[in-house]
Amino acid sequence: MMGLLRGRLGTAAGFTLGALLLLGVAPAVLPVFSLGLLGKFLCFAIVAVGIGLAWGRGGMLTLGQGVFFGLGAYIMAMHMKLADASLFGGSGVPDFMSLYGSGEVPGWWEPFRSPVVTLLAVVLIPGLVALVLGLAVFKRRVKGAYFAILSQALAAAFAVFLIGQQATTGGSNGLSGFRSFFGFDLKDPNNKVMLYLIAAVVLLLSIALARQLMHSRFGELLVAVRDQEERVRFLGYDPATIKTVTYVVAAVLAGIAGALFVPLVGIISPADVGVIPSIAFLIGVAIGGRATLLGPVLGAVSVAAAQSALSSTFPSFWVYFQGLLFILVIGFMPGGLASLPSLIGRRGKFRTAASTPALPVAPAPASPAALLKPEEEAAMPEEARR
């Protein structure tokens, strides 16, 4: 009972602290440009929350979240393009269409002129695609590596499709050059702050949602499905339904993240939705700790921030570093950085019990952790709090 109470209070306190940091401290301290960057990282974090549920809790290694991210992003981008075209051009035809296409807006773009349809579509289309896909896949009991390969192939196909449609999706250029967001001027720094705040609020809400799911009976079933799918089936539940629902939630989160990404970053292109970004989404989640609530969020934000900070100083080094970190975490710390405290704790016990030379396990993760000092510090208090 005491523990339960402390856990609940702790969660509320943690949530409040996170909200204060994201909504109060960050906008006050950071310049607009950095705030925009942070907003982008938060979009990745929203995707990560979904992956944490699907992969960490549900065991579905989804290598194709870029598809849902891309659907949300392209839907939003199409709306913004159309809105800009009628607001500034007058003709109602996006600039790139008259340059490279027929100069006419294709029929399937038209619904996205409406802001309401757009907002609904951002949630519903990724959700529906995931629903159909999930039912088709999980009802047939496709799982493990087959599911991973399938989801990755989907991401690859999606990117190739977008590249091929130069006249209607902007091809490899993608969609960019947005000037307004639902009537708000994107040049105005206040509006950029607003976009950041929306992303932060959506992230907080998605964390809250993920927590509710994790701590509900559904969340327990999900873990059970991950660990012993057959037994859950014998108990009379349908694992396919449980997995599909989770997959849909993860897809919807990715779609919303994509829709927020577009006004924040100002561009969406096939390079942001294909195989590589889909895997990149996963790396942060794995490093942070996929089965925990905050691990994926902190992992996604820190990996994106580290990439932003390091990739310009060491352009080619970054890719290797990221790969190495991924291998080390998967190999030696499957629980991610979130499991670091317990790992250290266990090691301490070992040392007092028997003064054996350091376990081969321990020093290996210690080296990347040392390289990652700022991240580690960012991650630690969160972990300690929980």
Partner 1 sequence: MKVSVHKRAFLPLAAAAVATALAGCGSQIADPASAGSTASTGTSCVDTSGDSIKVGFINSLSGTMAISESTVFDSLTLAAEEINASGGVLGKQLQVVSEDGASEPTKFAERAGKLIQQDCTAAVFGGWTSSSRKAMLPVFEANDALLFYPVQYEGLESSKNIFYTGATTNQQIIPALDYLAEQGTTSLFLVGSDYVFPRTANKIIQAYAAAKGIEILGEEYTPLGSTEFSTIVNKVRDSKADAVFNTLNGDSNVAFFRQYKSVGLTADTMPVVSVSIAEEEVPGVGLDNVEGQLTAWDYYQTLDTPANKKFVAAFKAKFGAERVTSDPMEAAYTSLFLWKAMVEKAGSFEVDQVQAAADGVTFEAPEGLVTVNGENNHITKTPRLGKINSEGLIDTVWSSPEAVEPDPFLATYDWAKDLAK
Q: Output 23 or 344, the one with its CB closest to partner 1.
A: 23
- Residue 228, number of CB atoms within 10 A of its CB: 13
φ/ψ (deg, to 5) at 185: -70, 120
> Distance (Å, rounded) from C-alpha 91 to C-alpha 108?
18
Taking a C-beta distance cutoff of 8 angstroms, is the pair 147, 137 a contact? yes
- What is the total count of residues that contact partner 1 (CB under 8 A)? 72
Q: Output 74 or 138, the one with its CB closest to partner 1.
A: 74
* Residue 158 touching partner 1 (CB under 8 A): no
CA nearest neighbour of 340 among 370, 310, 317: 370
Among 100, 237, 332, 350, binds partner 1 (CB under 8 A): 100
* Residue 119 touching partner 1 (CB under 8 A): no
What is the footprint of partner 1 within residues 271-300 (CB under 8 A)?
271-272
> Distance (Å, rounded) from C-alpha 249 to C-alpha 245?
6
What is the footprint of partner 1 within residues 39-58 (CB under 8 A)?
40
Among 37, 67, 240, 306, binds partner 1 (CB under 8 A): 37
* Residue 177 touching partner 1 (CB under 8 A): yes
* Residue 183 touching partner 1 (CB under 8 A): yes
Residue 175 is inside which H or E element, if any? Answer: strand 175-176
* Residue 381 touching partner 1 (CB under 8 A): no
Q: What is the dihedral angle through the alpha carbons of 94, 99, 104, 109, rounded to the nearest 10 degrees?
A: -40
Among 21, 29, 32, 153, binds partner 1 (CB under 8 A): 32
> Distance (Å, rounded) from C-alpha 362 to C-alpha 360?
6
Q: Output 189 or 345, the one with its CB closest to partner 1.
A: 189
What is the footprint of partner 1 within residues 295-354 (CB under 8 A)?
308, 311-312, 315-316, 318-319
Dihedral sign (CA 92, 95, 99, 100): negative
Number of H helices, E strands in the chain: 18, 4
What is the footprint of partner 1 within residues 198-257 (CB under 8 A)?
198, 200-201, 204-205, 208, 211-212, 215-216
Among 160, 235, 330, 358, binds partner 1 (CB under 8 A): 160
